[in-house]
């Protein structure tokens, strides 16, 4: 099932959403999740609102298909900070996609991030 994930600051867990009747709805909260066919998405309008208001809002997501697969290869750390970066990054370049991502709280490990 295709989902999108973000870190919920209030619950200190990952909020997992799926589309229901054409709208994204939270279906569960988890401490960690594994995704395949990953896309890293940032709403530029939401990012600009963060910069303008100096207040956090949900505007960055990781989309993919939930899987049970574990990372058995070398994975890259991926991060996002709206005050430093326009998009998700591996520290050297921006990343938009990955084959697999394991998200554990605020830690994101990705295979073949590009």
Report pLDDT for 73.
72
Q: How many CB atoms lie within 10 A of CB 108?
A: 26
7 DSSP β-pair partners? 14
Report pLDDT for 66.
96
Q: What is the pTM of this model?
A: 0.93
Report pLDDT for 74.
81
Q: Which of 56, 57, 64 is nearest to 17 (CA)?
A: 64
Q: Sheet containing 32-42: which strands, arranged edge to edge?
A: 23-30, 13-20, 2-8, 60-67, 32-42, 97-104, 107-111, 76-78
Mean pLDDT of 95-110: 95
Q: pLDDT of 34-82, one tens digit each?
A: 999 999 999 999 999 999 999 999 999 999 999 987 776 789 999 999 9
């Amino acid at each position: 099932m295709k989902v999108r994930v973000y870190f919920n600051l209030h619950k200190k867990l990952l909020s997992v959403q799926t589309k229901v009747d054409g709208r994204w709805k939270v279906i569960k909260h988890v401490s960690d999740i594994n995704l395949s066919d990953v896309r890293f998405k940032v709403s530029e309008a939401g990012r600009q609102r963060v910069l303008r208001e100096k207040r956090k809002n949900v505007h960055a997501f990781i989309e993919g298909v939930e899987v049970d697969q574990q990372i058995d290869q070398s994975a890259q750390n991926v991060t996002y900070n709206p005050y430093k970066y326009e998009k998700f990054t591996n520290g050297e370049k921006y990343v938009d996609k990955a084959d697999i991502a394991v998200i554990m709280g605020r830690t994101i490990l990705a295979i073949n991030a590009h």
